[in-house]
Structure 1
Amino acid sequence: SRWSVAHGQLRNQVDALTKENLELRGKLKVSKWHIHDSLKKQVDGLSPRKHASPQGFSTTGLRLVGCELLLFILLVVHTVGHAVCRVDDCAQFIKTYTLTNAIDSPREINTSPLPLHCQLGFHFLQTEQLFSSGRRVIMFRNGTKKEIEADGKSVTVTFFNGDVKKIMADERVVYYYADAQTTHTTFPSGLEVLTFPNKQIEKHHPNGTKEIIFPDHTVKHLYPDGREESVFPDGTVVKNGEKTVEFSNGQREIHTSQYKRREYPDGTVKTVYSNGRQETKYSSGRVRIKDKEGKIILDKK
């Protein structure tokens, strides 16, 4: 009957579609195996972070192979009908990962994790640009940017909060705190220098000594044993509460809690004590002492 004929045709179509679907599933499994094996060989072939790579390898070619493999697996999965990502997303993935002026020639291979990582749904963690000069720029998902110069030694990291960290070729590390507008520089010798927005500078030496340079050019030293010394722009020096003033005419004046002393270029020393007593020692050896009222109580020649 017509119903039997129609039923037979529909059953044959169902059988044919089922067979085709099984064949596509088989192809997908084989493709996935080949892709996994290929990626595993690429990753296993990389040694831990070395500057040089075997001749004939190209960072451009390596990364492009990864993109092509991702595109291929998406197309296969989409054909079978089990796609979790759209083909348009893959196109956007290829577009996002830009190789600017890249050249396919033997060069150093960075053995760090692949420059682009994705999960189901293409949740990108980072993108990378490789320039013909060898310079690399990596953009992270949170807005942080890492720039690596061709020498591999100069690195600049601009964080999402505005902070900037620079690693120089001479091994200096410069960190700029955006909120505080303060720069912290660390030298290979261990010296640390802090520069504040008001132009005050602090130097922390490896031996524990701290040097503070104020905006008015006053310099203060703090020593590990507790001693302090301040040098003022006019030449005044204060050590542990003892103030020393150097005058342009060669005279020197020392102030302490016990006395004030004036030293003259010819060797004469005049001292006024806290109780008012005055003592003068001349270069000739003469000594004269006065009481607090100014009366001479001793005059020894």
Structure 2
Amino acid sequence: MTIATSLPSPGRSSLVANLACMGSMLVWALGFPLADALLATLPAVAVTALRLAFAAAFLLPVWIIADGWREVRAADWARGLGVGALGMGLGALLLVYGQSRTDGITAAVISATMPVVGITLECLLDGRRLRPRVILGILLSVAGGVAVYGARMGNLSIGIGAAAVLASVTIFAWASRASVTALPGLSAIGRTAVTITGGTLAIAALQALLPAFGGEAMPWARIGARDWVYAALYGVGSMAISQVLFLIGVAGLGIGVAAMHINIAPFYVMLFALAFGAAWSWPTAAAAALVVLGVLIAQGRRPA
């Protein structure tokens, strides 16, 4: 099965997929400020290890309850752990490391390239034909995503950190596609649980080996009560729940179109901020509308 050939016709299934992507981005966006707070006291590998551990500890019991122990035992663990070690492990580490060398805004701006990466993967691996409406949709989506941060574009930190985030985006897009194509018999929860477990094992091993190569051991003494809460929210919300919803969207829309939703995440952040007294931003709302327009056009829909 390939994502390109499994795209649904417009209807209820694609509506569910789009709603899943929206929900995914809603909780994913909150991860950037949480990561900034954790990186103020902890190194990138430790933050990544905590994030993945909380995500796996949440998903595995939920998967067993939702699909049953027989489904868990029948899963292709070897393939899933391999995809997870690279995609969820290395991808997550590069994102956190990149953000530690830059900031959350820079990481979010670079993440706006994911639709381009996703469509490129579909063209190379699934033989998807690049139609004019898809190109237009990508351009609008990326433009909207970058426009959200327009006021900060002059302050972006470009260097090794930015390169790490870009590499993370590429790996994450590949892993999201591979989670669907390599584990077709599993539910979205199962795919996410298996791959995140693979990522957890890989980063836990890396953290354990660091002291032998002159690196820092897990700084347990520096992890306060606030850090534990932030790490739990970062892992369960911004990774576990977000990835489950995102894979539902990828299975229904393909990685390219699903990734376009990533650029509307700042708009959700603004909506949350309104509840705490922040001001409404028409430029941000207009940029979000541009992203939505791009998503609709890429799917061959007529904008309302």
TM-score range, shorter chain: under 0.3
Normalised to the residue count of structure 2, the TM-score between the two structures is 0.20
* Higher normalized contact order (CA 8 Å, seq sep 6+, divided by chain length): 2
Larger % of helix: which? 2
Normalised to the residue count of structure 1, the TM-score between the two structures is 0.21
Q: Which has the larger radius of gyration?
A: 1
